[in-house]
Every structure is written in structure tokens, then in C-alpha cells.
Amino acid sequence: NADTAMYHAKAQGRANYQFYSEELNRSAMARLDLERKLRNAAAGGEFELWYQPQYRACDGQAIGVEALLRWRHPQDGLIPPDRFIPICEDNGMILDIGRWVMEKACAQLASWRNAGLAPLRMAINVSARQLRDTRIIDLLRAQIERHGIGPGELEFEVTESSVMERPDEAAFILGRIKALGVSLAIDDFGTGHSSLAYLKRFPLDRLKIDRSFVSDIEHDCNDAAIVSAAISLAHGLGLEVVAEGVESAVQWAQLKALGCDELQGYHFSRPLPAEQLEPLLRAALNLPAAGATPAGPQD
Ligand code: C2E
Ligand code: MG
Ligand code: MG
Ligand code: MG
């Protein structure tokens, strides 16, 4: 009868609610656990900076590297940035982590330069939160002076959504960063939701075409059309274009034919720890191997 039905519905509702709140509890607990582990991570030296090379499309010469953060938890192993950076952006930890990344990347750039691995550009990913804190200017200036970093040797990668959150503030800070000789790239281009008008508001040097347009470029003519249009747009605005996520020689050839300036992806190299990347970089910069006899006249 109706009463029994009502009773069942209530019980069911209660059960659902309980299930739902348990689920919510579990994810909240998991997040708290991750936040707690993150707090120890910096102090425990669990962060690592890996580097993925970038190449000139026309001849395959290495021209730069992108610094990519890694977290090696003693029990959980290597945790990818997509799992913890959003949390650090929420709770503000990205400010300290971002500072560590900047210091580490600048020191690595200088160390490679001193070892003859040059010219090389070091690209660093910067979150919206970091662009809201003007202290980044002083941190940056200190690193540039400390390591004698020249114009164009350092690049900041920002996403469209991160600069469009507060466009006026972002334009101001990016202008000051640019004035320090740091170049600017828009990361994951094509995945945001704002109009293209923002491109002329910021002092940009480079567009990085998101890898979702590259992954199937040889089969999907829509992707090819989007990439081709993005390259024309960028060149028309005086920007260079980097394609992300290049995984095959066919993609390389096609991107080169479309006029893409630079390439990055697993086809060339995955992100690697500095020591592992070094020999590869030496070869791709067309430099002699470390310890090899230099070419040319000897006495
Ligand atoms: P991103 O800046 O767009 O970096 C490119 C991502 O694509 C990297 O993932 C890289 O490993 C991956 N990738 C490169 N080539 C290929 C390819 O050929 N195929 C495929 N499938 N993937 C490729 P990763 O290292 O997991 O980083 C993910 C994101 O985390 C980055 O995307 C960036 O948004 C963020 N991130 C990484 N390091 C930092 C950092 O130091 N600070 C900040 N704020 N964000 C960072
Ligand atoms: Mg990036
Ligand atoms: Mg990207
Ligand atoms: Mg990304």
C-alpha cells in the first residue's frame, strides 16, 4: 500500500544520501590526504624538475626546453602534475612551488650554458595565481641577475584562461615580466573559451598549439585546418608557433609543411631529468659529445 511505498522511498532516500555523503567523504578525505602529503613534499625534497626539448621544425635543431614539475612520493611513487597542481593552485601552495620551479629552472639553464649547452631557451609554466602576486617580478629579477640570464633565454608559459581571469592585472604583470627580457607563450592554444581579441592585449612571443589538435592531424582534416588557421593567425600577429604533442615523423612533416616554427613531443623526446637529457641535448644542439676531442686544428 501507499504507506509501505512511502516508507521504502524514505529508506531509499536515506540510503542514497548516506551513500552520497560517504562518497563525498571519501573524496574529501583523499584530497585532505593529498594536501597533507603535499605539505611535506617541499620540505622533504620530493619535487623534481624534468625537461622536454623543443626543436626548430625546419632542421630539427634543439632550441629550448620546457621545465615540467614531477612529484616523487616515497610510497605513492611519481605523481603527475595534473593530479596535484590544481590543488596547489586552490590552496596557494603554488606560490612557493612556483618559486622553487623558477629558481631550479634558472639554475639549470645557467649550468647548461656553462657546460656549453647553448643557445637554449628555458620555458617555465606559470599559473594564474602566480600572476596575481607582483612579488614574482622581484623573484624573477633576482634570478636573472644571479644567473646572468639574457633576453629571450627565459620564457613563461601561461594559459589563455589564466590570463583572462583578470585580464587587466595580467596585462600589467606580463608587461613587466616582458620588460625583464622574458618571453611569453600562450600554452594549450585553442582549448580556452575566450575570443581571439585577447591575443593583442598581451605582449606575446609564441603560441603553443594544444596537442589535441596535433594528435590526429594526419587523418583529421578539421584538425589540420584548425592548425593551419592558428599558424596563419599567429604569424599575422608576429608570433611564432610551437606544436605540442608531436608523436610521429609524419606529424612533423605535416606541421613543417603548414609553416609551424617549432615542435615538441614524444617523437623527439619525453620529459627527462636533467642528467638524462644532457647527452641528447648536446647531440640535438649539434655540439660535440662531452669529453670528445673538439674538432678543428690541434697542437
Ligand atoms: P603543459 O604545459 O601543456 O605541458 C605539456 C604536457 O604534455 C606535459 O605533461 C608533457 O609531458 C606532455 N607531453 C609532451 N609531449 C607529449 C606527446 O607527444 N604526447 C603526449 N600524450 N603528451 C605529451 P605533464 O608533464 O604531465 O604536465 C601537465 C601539465 O601540468 C602541464 O601542461 C602544465 O599545465 C602543468 N605543469 C607542469 N609543470 C608545471 C609547473 O612547474 N608549474 C605549473 N604552474 N604548471 C605545471
Ligand atoms: Mg606548458
Ligand atoms: Mg600545453
Ligand atoms: Mg596543459
**Ligand 1: nearest atom to the Cα of 101:** 41
Q: What is the DSSP string of 275-294?
A: HHHHHHHHHHTT-PPTTSPP
Which residues sit with their C-beta closer than 6 Å to ligand 1? 52, 68-69, 80-82, 85, 101, 125-127, 157, 187-188, 211, 244-247, 264-266, 271
- In this predicted structure, the answer to whether residue 20 has a pLDDT above a threshold of 90 is no
Q: What is the largest CA-CA distance in the chain?
A: 106
Q: State ipTM.
A: 0.98
Side chain identity, residue 168: D
18 alpha carbon – ligand 4 mean position (Å): 36
* CA-264 nearest atom, ligand 1: 15
Give the Å distance between the CA of 267 and the centre of ligand 4.
18
For residue 248, which amino acid is it? S
Q: What angle do CA 112, 118, 122 make, to 5 degrees?
A: 70
Residue with CA nearest ligand 1 atom 16: 245
- Take atom 43 of ligand 1 and give the residue whose Cα is closest: 125
Tell me: pLDDT of 1 over 90: no
| pLDDT score at 180 | 97
Q: How many other CB atoms are there within 10 angstroms of residue 131's CB atom? A: 22
DSSP SS3 for 251: helix
Q: What is the pLDDT of residues 134-182, one digit of tens each?
A: 999 999 999 999 999 999 999 999 999 999 989 999 999 999 999 999 9
